[in-house]
Amino acid sequence: MSLIIAKDKRANMLEAEEELHGPSLTHTTPITRLPIELLQDIFLQCTQITPLGLTQGADADIRFLQPDPAEAPLLFTQVCKLWRTVATSTPELWVSIQLSRHAYPAAPEQALQSLCSMVKAWLSNSQNLPLKIHLEGDVGCIRHGELGEAQLMPPSLWDGILPIFISHASHWSTIIFPRTLAEYLFARDVCTPMLKTFSSQSWTPYWLPSTGILHTARDLTCLRLQMIRPEVLAEGSVSRGLRYLSLTNCFDPADLFDILEYFPELLSLHVGSSTLGYLHYKPVKHITHHKLEYFAVPQILVSPEVLDLISFPSLRKLIVQGPWTVSHVRCVASMLSRSACLLQILEFCDNGDEISQLGAQVEAKRLFEFTPLVRIGKVDLYRPTSLKIVYTPVL
């Protein structure tokens, strides 16, 4: 017991000395004698960076930190002057930030000012390195008008927070915003020359009214939206070098043709659903997209009117989403035969009541000509080793 009392007394003495004189940089602890570069590496290794679960493989490299005084990197700034100096002068520690809806103070002005100061210091510490930012919205963003219509307005706290983020827009690299904040940004002339990934999806149907902050993002490679209309693309203000595109909804099946034609470098296209389900106009020419490797398509677009006019010679993975029938299988087989691609996996999700599991498996076997693996729901069917395949490209 006397040892514990002595230890507590010594700890109290050290704390009192720290408060009086501040931390000593000549302290004899071994870690203070390490080279600055090694200490920086240790800080980087100790920083908990976790992936954000998004739907596309293109987003696998997106990492975010949630500010927490009890966690790195903010924790490093509270240990001693040396650690604070090293942490704040290591911009790699501060290149990502995520503010969840739970991080926003409800009302106290002092708490809001503290949050603003923290965000300002965090972004300043990143210097000019590419920034990855994820901001979550809140139900407080939706205010109902007198007639019951939803008026989507940024909450008042964004008057203090959002301008701080916008002041660093010149080195935004990855932006994930809720819809209300995305609309707020698109309505302003914000220059984003380093932007590579922009994501804003929600259940509320809307389409991109203008390209706004994207027109200066000439290196944009990944775009995730609720939907996008061809008339916006016609303005030429979205980078044609886009590699990954994810749309929650395709307003008109005919839009698919405009999207494929506008983005010749596209590697991955994910379309969640189609609102109308029929073509407003029939495209007059066949499209061969030479780069697309991943295609997730709703069953409503798996029809001869659509797939008979499209070829994907580089396709490696095809996913058909939603209830489907034998006709969908045959339509896909026709498209794959024309494309002469080396498909690695073909997946049919959510088969409906019109086709039994056994019937689906029997019908799917015709697809072994195009792929070694057909996935029906949760069942994987593999091509028999005895089946010899000869690929004949269609010229």
Q: Does residue 393 form part of some domain? A: no
Which of 326, 280, 325, 324 is closest to 306 using CA atoms? Answer: 280
Instruction: Average the pLDDT over each of 82-86, 147-151, 272-276, 287-291 and give the range with the smallest value.
Output: 147-151
164-169 contacts at long range (C-beta below 8 A, 24 or more positions apart): 164/116, 164/119, 164/120, 164/123, 165/119, 165/123, 165/133, 165/135, 166/190, 167/123, 168/123, 168/126, 168/131, 169/213
pLDDT of residue 143: 39
Instruction: Work out how many domains the chain is built from and give that number.
Output: 1
Strands 150-152 and 172-176: unpaired
Q: Is the pLDDT of residue 198 over 60?
A: yes
Helix (H) or strand (E) holding 205: none
Helix (H/G/I), strand (E/B), else coil: 224: strand
**Is residue 285 in some structural domain?**
no
CA atoms within 13 A on the CB side of 16: 6
Band of the pLDDT at 126, cuts 50, 70, 90? very high
| pLDDT one-digit tens code per residue, 152-174 | 444 555 677 888 999 999 999 99
- Check if the beta carbon of residue 321 is closer than 8 Å to that of residue 298: yes
Residue 17 is which amino acid? E
Model confidence pLDDT, tens digit, residues 257-291: 889 999 999 999 998 876 555 555 566 678 999 99
Is 334 a member of any domain?
A: no
Does 257 reside within a domain?
no
Range of the domain at 88: 1-195
Does residue 234 belong to any structural domain of this protein?
Answer: no
Asked, for residue 335, whether it belongs to a domain, the answer is: no
Residue 295 lies in a domain: no
CA distance 339 to 293: 12
pLDDT of res. 209: 55
Q: Domain for residue 221, yes or no?
A: no
What value does the mean pLDDT take over residues 44-72?
A: 61
